[in-house]
Amino acid sequence: MCGIVGYLGDRDVLPIIIKGLKRLEYRGYDSAGVAISADNEINIFKKQGKVSALEDFIGEKEVKGSVGIGHTRWATHGEPNDLNAHPHYSCSKEFAIIHNGIIENYGPLKAELESKGYTFVSDTDTEVLVTFIEDIYNSGEYSIEEAVRIALSNVIGAYAIAVLSTKEPRKIVAARKGSPLVIGLGKNEYFLASDATPIIEYTNEVVYLNDEEIAVISDDGFNIRDLKDVSKDPYIQTLELELDALEKGGYPHFMLKEIFEQPNSIADCMRGRLNSASGSLVLGGIRNYSNALINAEKIVILACGTSWHAGLVAEYIFEEFCRIPVEVEYASEFRYRNPIVKEGDIVIAISQSGETADTLAAIELAKSKGAIIFGVVNAVGSSISRTTHEGAYLHAGPEIGVASTKAFTAQLSVLVMIALRVANRRGTITERKYKELLVELETIPSKVKKALEYNSQIEYISELFKDAKNFLYLGRGYNFPVALEGALKLKEISYIHAEGYPAAEMKHGPIALIDEEMPVVVIATRDSSYDKIVSNIQEVKARKGVVIAIVTEGDVLIPKMADFVIEVPATHEALMPLVSVIPLQLLSYHIAVMRGCNVDQPRNLAKSVTVE
Ligand code: G6P
């Protein structure tokens, strides 16, 4: 997590950095800061809290300069106060650094530097790194970039850094390992950021740094070398990202905008890939390894958070239609438990950001054992998309609200398309069923649109339950992962405790919690377990629980039992999660707004979790 920005050119740097930090605030918002290089001095301004607090702090102060770096922090080492905010000076203030990541061996390094007389003002690993760089530079033998390279060769951990020095005021040295970093190439100006969003309004020509690469940016241009000091040829990419996609477009929050974007984002995800009339499903990014996927004996799905929930839905789909056993793993657990992965095994990694540290590490582990990795990723050019063998992008556009919404439905759409293609090629699904599902999949954007029309009713229900202390979410079959996702959404943004459960498991524990104070959201759409879930609703009602049921349009039975019903259009049960999740997203959104929570930037969370 943490977002980093940098600029070197002719323009006034402060507004560029501040604007960039606002775009990256989704990566962390514990503190923000800038360092500007001018007149052989580096001036640092930093403040606990959001970028707006930093802006207020800088106020009318005159901040001149056209070379600078900025940081928005998600705290790891040291509490999120002004002192621990980035940028950090080195001991002499001749160097300044911003850092996204963790230096694991900072303890011994700090002790060694202290024994040489260096002192530290913060609790951070980052201040140790910049002082280490200074110490190497002070030996008199090395340039700034050499000092950075030597320091980085001696640290253990992950980093994306940018370093300024008064020794060469118009130079930025940047490097990455495990945390993302992209360089924007303007006309006689350079940009630097954790992702392309702060860059796109100035240039669409970018270079993504690879792990263990160091870029040196100056008025003479830029060059890239690796940690072994070998020169690297930069691969310049042209981005297609639209600036409009980064704005709120009239909505009060990004989350609401992204919820309402779903009819389009799902359609965008399927555009050019799915043609029900001809029965064709083309996933351009899955070619060379397509046969391996079709002949898979087992599939392992790796993901975290909401993406893990999408993986759970995919498990049901792959098992039902492809008859391939699937294991859905939390990447964080998988990477540390000596998993059994053989040469040629199939892994699907799902990630919105493409930067989640645990998912990346789990992929590397599976890769090292010879697995073939497919990525289902939203962020174009992200680390996961580049490390996987093949994959399919979501094409959902940038997701900025920290709580994932449109990425989830796009992930489901991609995973359904992959599964149906595999099922068709394996012959585990009849041609008729395959075509039927393609036709149905094409109707999903309009069904999601219909589900969104119940927004004001959901807002009304939210008002009634906004003060609840706990929520239970129940679902069966395909709707069980939706129950988990609904509970996660509520927890994340409204801070209400919520649990998702398979409805039948309720009687093995959560039923003890049910009383008239406990709202129970039951996803009870018409599917093969409908009768069973009706019984579960009755069990909740018998304990005086308050039932909010998500039902298929036209259902007459459940409205007689439930206290509140929210309708969604009918669809095939395997596709229902794409539709039934919509009211749950809206419910959590409205409750969070009514409770006065910061919906787009909930406390303690970050959108891109680049630490383990
Ligand atoms: C964070 C985000 C979640 C997301 C999870 C996995 O916790 O707040 O919304 O689901 O990371 O992220 P990924 O980018 O890998 O999907």
Q: 410: Cβ–Cβ under 8 A, 6 or more apart, which residues?
A: 265, 266, 268, 269, 378, 394, 395, 396
* Ligand 1, atom 2, residue with closest C-alpha: 607
Ligand 1 atom showing the smallest separation from residue 353 Cα? 14
Res. 155: pLDDT tops 70 = yes
Cα–Cα distance, 66 to 26 (Å, whole number): 25
Among 98-102, 217-221, 371-375, 426-430, the minimum mean pLDDT is found in 98-102
Cα–Cα distance, 113 to 107 (Å, whole number): 10
Pocket test for ligand 1, best of 598, 609, 610, 611 (most atoms within 8 A of CB): 609
Q: Around 87, how many Cα atoms within 13 Å sit in the side-chain half-sphere?
A: 32
Ligand 1 atom showing the smallest separation from residue 384 Cα? 15
Over residues 514-564, the pLDDT tens digits come to 888 899 999 999 999 999 999 999 999 988 999 999 999 999 999 999 999
Over residues 228-255, the pLDDT tens digits come to 999 999 999 998 877 777 777 779 999 9
Res. 29: pLDDT tops 90 = no
Confidence of residue 602 (pLDDT cuts 50, 70, 90): confident
Over residues 376-425, the pLDDT tens digits come to 999 988 899 999 999 999 999 889 999 999 999 999 999 999 999 999 99
pLDDT at 374: 97
% of the chain exceeding 70 in pLDDT: 100
Q: How many whole angstroms from 508 Cα to the centroid of ligand 1?
A: 30
Q: How many whole angstroms from 230 Cα to the centroid of ligand 1?
A: 35
Ligand 1 atom showing the smallest separation from residue 356 Cα? 15
In the set 2, 91, 304, 597, the catalytic residue is 2
pLDDT average, residue stretch 86-109 = 94
279 Ramachandran zone, left/alpha/beta (phi>0; psi -120 to 50): left
Over residues 281-330, the pLDDT tens digits come to 999 899 999 999 999 999 999 999 999 999 999 999 999 999 999 999 99
Pocket test for ligand 1, best of 394, 607, 611, 612 (most atoms within 8 A of CB): 607
* Ligand 1, atom 5, residue with closest C-alpha: 305
% of the chain exceeding 90 in pLDDT: 82
Q: In the annotation, is 257 catalytic?
A: no
Res. 612: pLDDT tops 80 = no
Q: How many whole angstroms from 445 Cα to the centroid of ligand 1?
A: 23
Cα–Cα distance, 74 to 277 (Å, whole number): 48
Q: How many whole angstroms from 490 Cα to the centroid of ligand 1?
A: 15
Among 258, 303, 22, residue whose Cα is nearest residue 32: 22
Pocket test for ligand 1, best of 2, 304, 358, 406 (most atoms within 8 A of CB): 304
Cα–Cα distance, 251 to 240 (Å, whole number): 23
Over residues 414-456, the pLDDT tens digits come to 999 999 999 999 999 999 999 999 999 999 999 999 999 999 9
pLDDT at 381: 82
Q: What is the mean pLDDT of the chain?
A: 94
Q: Around 372, how many Cα atoms within 13 Å sit in the side-chain half-sphere?
A: 19
Over residues 100-127, the pLDDT tens digits come to 988 999 999 999 999 999 999 998 999 9
Q: How many whole angstroms from 492 Cα to the centroid of ligand 1?
A: 11
Res. 513: pLDDT tops 90 = no
Q: How many whole angstroms from 94 Cα to the centroid of ligand 1?
A: 37
Q: In the annotation, is 369 catalytic?
A: no
Pocket test for ligand 1, best of 254, 301, 307, 313 (most atoms within 8 A of CB): 307
Q: How many whole angstroms from 302 Cα to the centroid of ligand 1?
A: 12
- Buried b or exposed e, range 58-70, using 16+ CB within 10 angstroms: beeeebebbbbbb
Ligand 1 atom showing the smallest separation from residue 407 Cα? 16
* Ligand 1, atom 3, residue with closest C-alpha: 305
Q: How many whole angstroms from 350 Cα to the centroid of ligand 1?
A: 10
- Reading the block at residue 63, the tokens are 């901040």
Ligand 1 atom showing the smallest separation from residue 492 Cα? 8
* Ligand 1, atom 8, residue with closest C-alpha: 607
- Residues having CB closer than 6 A to ligand 1 are 304-307, 351-353, 356, 359, 402-404, 605, 607, 609
Kindly report whether the peptide bond that precedes residue 87 is cis, defined as omega within 30 degrees of 0: yes
Cα–Cα distance, 437 to 442 (Å, whole number): 9
Q: Is 99 in contact with 33 (CB distance < 8 Å)?
A: no
Q: How many whole angstroms from 609 Cα to the centroid of ligand 1?
A: 7
Over residues 178-195, the pLDDT tens digits come to 888 999 999 999 999 998
pLDDT at 1: 67
In the set 46, 406, 489, 607, the catalytic residue is 607
pTM over 0.75, yes/no: yes
pLDDT average, residue stretch 143-159 = 95
